[in-house]
DNA sequence: GCCGTTTTCGGCCCGACTGTTTTCAGTCG
């Protein structure tokens, strides 16, 4: 059992404990253990081996004697006594219910004890039958909201967030690569195109072991991978299976000679491929997953690389992120023919990002100091950062009041001076947008800070127009320069776009307020469609990691994909400015 | 359940918002 699986079981146990009404601190310790286990770079199973020093495990913060025993049980038996005990009282499907808005552990426990409701279908039936209304504190509004939540959940839960899919892709790839003679495993499909969510995983493998005459042994290896939950199909060069979380995986083993054609074919999208095949036919060619072939003599024109295939169709190479048949083929044709206009955009790349202007430190809920964040940013090539710790309304983060915000800014200036020009550190704050759209710090305070990010953290179950008006009112404050995570943060838990993005972006563009695209996948705010919309409205985008730890700055690499899908160039993004001064110049001027 | 001590047990992020109340429990960040 690997760390990810261990962490998930610990986290599930924490949820079951919550439903059971256990001590909140006991629950917290299980959650904390799950987090730290997930972040370990070495596999804990190796620390639990008979010959391993038991002190190493206990040296991990958050792992004590009890948790170490739990981990040992999990590794040895796949489960642990506490988990089994809880599962005799409750049902594993009740964990799904916790993902619904308004459903917390108490409510899940209540519907179970009162109505024996333990899964989504039963809950929906009970809600529709009006049974919930008989329970305390559950009226009409609650039921309505719940049914909407169930609908949204069903709509989204068949797809997986890209970071989750990528993680599984990497784990499966590593297992496949263990077979001698398989040299390359590449994800294709919507994962390669950078879609925010992925329906199933397409993995392409190649190498000497994938040549037609010997591929059977490699297929056998893939079909018996340990993490397969359900083997769905097994063909000559293809294996399809599902994982325990129901993610479907297609693995294809292909000879080197047709790898480019296969990559092109399986990356899609479907619409892009249809258009490409039509283009091929017009040129007397036919495109398949094996090769681009001339019809008159069956001669293979291109097959080993994608670039050769695109070029043979008189197209410049099209980056996977653009392959949606949204005009990229026409643009690639223009580029290939050397036309002066209408070519493929020079898409933004990670190297274009020079600053990260939304981050937290130990002053509130971050895990690193100002200096540590600055050093980590330098290591990643950033030229400027902004320290934007939370304001007081976010009590759980130890948010700052006005006096603390100013004192913190003074420390930021001090550290900035000590950096001696290696990086510029802006002062700042992430203020919270209150119910009426006002901010939770004084204007006099904000006036003394370089970067004011205004974010909504409160609940999103009010009507869309209420939330939209609240955000617009907030960004009208003259000191706000960036609208932080504009659409709310949880992509799958609830309707991610309970905000009129068009109205917000329109006003932001008028005011010169930059709209943030949060680079962390789990916090994705602007879909590629919304990014395109924002660009079309003249909105300036600020892409930030909202890092709470130094390592989170690496999320920048994930975030860039969404920008590329939206055809954005370096010019569309404010924090591509080469210097701190130039960056400030791109932001709204204070009145 | 973990931690750090006072080595045996107390402390462990807390406040706003909502729906349902008519004073508050539950959820969320």
SS (H, E, C) A431-456: EEECCCCCECCCHHHHCCCCEEEEEC
Within 7 A of a protein CB, which nucleotides of strand B? 1-3, 11-21, 25-29
Please list the residues that pair with A430 across neighbouring strands.
A390, A453
Give chain A residues 14-53 with Cβ within 7 A of strand B.
Answer: 23, 25-26, 28-30, 33
Give, in Å, how far the C1' of B22 lies from the CA of A137.
14
Q: Is the CB of A141 under 7 A from strand B?
A: yes
- Interatomic CA distance for residues A479 and A289, integer angstroms: 55
Place of tokens 């730890």: A549
Residue A177 has a pLDDT of 96
**pTM (2 d.p.):** 0.84
Tokens of A179: 């077979």
Q: What is the 3-state secondary structure (H, E, C) of A444-492?
A: HHHCCCCEEEEECCCCCCCCHHHHHHHHHHHHCCCCCCEECCCCCCCCC
CATH number of this structure's domain A160-254, picked from the four choices 3.30.70.100, 3.30.460.10, 2.60.260.40, 3.40.109.10 = 3.30.460.10
The low-confidence residues of chain A, meaning pLDDT below 50, are 489-496
Place of tokens 């070029």: A311
CA–C1' nearest nucleotide, residue A13: B1
Q: What is the CATH number of domain A350-586?
A: 3.20.20.140
Tell which residue, A268, A260, A262, A201, has the closest CA to residue A237.
A262
Residue A155 has a pLDDT of 79
- Interatomic CA distance for residues A330 and A307, integer angstroms: 16
Cα A237-A240-A245 angle, rounded to 5 deg: 155
Give, in Å, how far the C1' of B25 lies from the CA of A134.
17
Cα A216-A193-A270 angle, rounded to 5 deg: 75
Q: Is the CB of A105 under 7 A from strand B?
A: yes
Q: Is the CB of A455 under 7 A from strand B?
A: no
* Nearest residue by alpha-carbon distance to C1' of B13: A396
Domain A3-90 is classified in which CATH homologous superfamily? DNA polymerase beta, N-terminal domain-like (1.10.150.110)
Give, in Å, how far the C1' of B28 lies from the CA of A580.
36
Give, in Å, how far the C1' of B10 lies from the CA of A492.
39
> What do you get for the CA distance between the two ends of chain A, in Å?
58
Cα A40-A14-A19 angle, rounded to 5 deg: 165
Give chain A residues 415-434 with Cβ within 7 A of strand B.
Answer: 434
Q: Is the CB of A317 under 7 A from strand B?
A: no
Q: Is the CB of A57 under 7 A from strand B?
A: no
For A35, A360, A420, A521, the CA distances from A374, given in Å and listed in that order, are 24, 11, 12, 22
Tokens of A309: 């295939």
Residue A492 has a pLDDT of 36
Residue A461 has a pLDDT of 66
Q: Using an 8 Å Cβ cutoff, are A267 and A188 in contact?
A: yes
CATH fold match for the domains A3-90 and A350-586: no
pLDDT digits (tens, 9 = 90+) for A373-414: 999 999 999 999 999 999 999 888 999 999 999 999 999 999
Domain A260-337 is classified in which CATH homologous superfamily? DNA polymerase, thumb domain (3.30.210.10)
**Phi-psi category of residue A298: left, alpha or beta, with phi > 0 → left and psi -120 to 50 → alpha:** left
Tokens of A240: 């399809």
- Interatomic CA distance for residues A520 and A574, integer angstroms: 18
Residue A259 has a pLDDT of 94
Give chain A residues 340-379 with Cβ within 7 A of strand B.
Answer: 365
Residue A491 has a pLDDT of 37
Place of tokens 């092109």: A264
Tell which residue, A554, A475, A552, has the closest CA to residue A516.
A475
Can you give the residue ranges of every domain in chain A?
3-90, 160-254, 260-337, 350-586
* Nearest residue by alpha-carbon distance to C1' of B20: A137
């Amino acid at each position: 059992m690997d760390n990810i699986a261990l962490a998930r079981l610990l986290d599930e146990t924490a949820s079951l404990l919550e439903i059971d009404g256990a001590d909140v601190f006991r629950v917290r310790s299980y959650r904390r253990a799950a987090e730290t286990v997930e972040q370990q770079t070495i596999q804990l199973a190796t620390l639990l081996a008979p010959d391993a020093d038991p002190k190493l495990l206990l040296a991990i913060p958050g792992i004590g004697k009890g948790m170490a025993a739990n981990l040992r049980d999990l590794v040895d038996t796949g489960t642990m006594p506490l988990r089994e005990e809880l599962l005799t009282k409750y049902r594993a499907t009740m964990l799904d219910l916790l993902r619904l808005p308004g459903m917390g552990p108490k409510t899940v426990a209540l519907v179970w004890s009162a109505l024996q409701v333990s899964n989504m279908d039963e809950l929906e039936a009970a809600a529709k039958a009006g049974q919930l209304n008989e329970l305390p504190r559950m009226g009409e509004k609650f039921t309505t909201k719940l049914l909407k939540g169930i609908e949204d959940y069903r709509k989204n839960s068949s797809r997986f967030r890209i970071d989750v899919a990528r993680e599984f892709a990497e784990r499966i790839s590593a297992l496949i690569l263990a077979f001698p003679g398989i040299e390359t495993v590449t994800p294709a499909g919507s994962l390669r195109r950078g879609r925010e969510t992925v329906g199933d995983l397409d993995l392409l493998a190649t190498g000497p072991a994938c040549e037609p005459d010997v591929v059977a042994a490699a297929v056998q290896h893939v079909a018996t991978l340990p993490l397969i939950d359900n083997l769905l199909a097994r063909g000559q060069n293809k294996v399809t299976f599902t994982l325990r979380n129901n993610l479907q995986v297609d693995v294809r083993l292909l000879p080197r000679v047709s790898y480019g054609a296969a990559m092109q074919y399986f990356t899609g999208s479907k619409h892009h491929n249809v258009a490409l095949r039509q283009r091929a036919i017009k040129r007397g060619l036919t495109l398949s997953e094996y090769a681009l072939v001339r019809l008159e003599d069956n001669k293979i024109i291109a097959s080993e690389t994608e670039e050769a295939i695109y070029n043979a169709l008189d197209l410049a190479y099209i980056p996977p992120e653009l392959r949606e048949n949204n005009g990229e083929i026409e643009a690639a044709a223009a580029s290939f023919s050397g036309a002066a206009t209408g070519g493929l955009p020079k898409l933004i790349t990670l190297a274009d990002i020079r600053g990260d202007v939304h981050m937290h430190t130990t002053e509130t809920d971050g895990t690193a100091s100002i200096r540590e964040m600055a050093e980590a940013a330098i290591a990643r090539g950033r030229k400027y950062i902004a320290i934007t710790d939370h304001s007081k309304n976010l009590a759980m983060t130890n948010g700052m009041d006005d006096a603390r915000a100013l004192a913190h800014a003074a420390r930021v200036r001090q550290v900035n001076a000590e950096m001696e020009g290696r990086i510029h550190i802006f002062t700042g704050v992430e203020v919270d947008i209150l119910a009426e759209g006002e901010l939770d710090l004084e204007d006099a305070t904000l006036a003394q800070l370089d970067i004011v990010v205004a974010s909504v953290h409160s609940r999103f179950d009010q009507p869309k127009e209420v939330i939209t008006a609240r955000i617009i009112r907030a960004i009208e404050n003259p000191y706000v320069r960036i609208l932080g995570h504009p659409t709310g943060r949880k992509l799958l838990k609830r309707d991610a776009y309970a905000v009129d993005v068009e109205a917000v972006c329109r006003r932001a563009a008028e005011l010169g307020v930059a709209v943030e695209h949060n680079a962390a996948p789990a916090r994705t705010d602007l879909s590629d469609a919304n990014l395109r919309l924002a660009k079309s409205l003249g909105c300036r985008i600020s892409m930030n990691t909202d890092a709470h730890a130094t390592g989170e700055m690496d999320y920048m690499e994930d975030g860039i994909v969404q920008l590329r899908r939206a055809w954005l160039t370096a010019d569309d993004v404010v924090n591509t400015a080469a210097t701190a001064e130039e960056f400030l110049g791109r932001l709204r001027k204070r009145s």
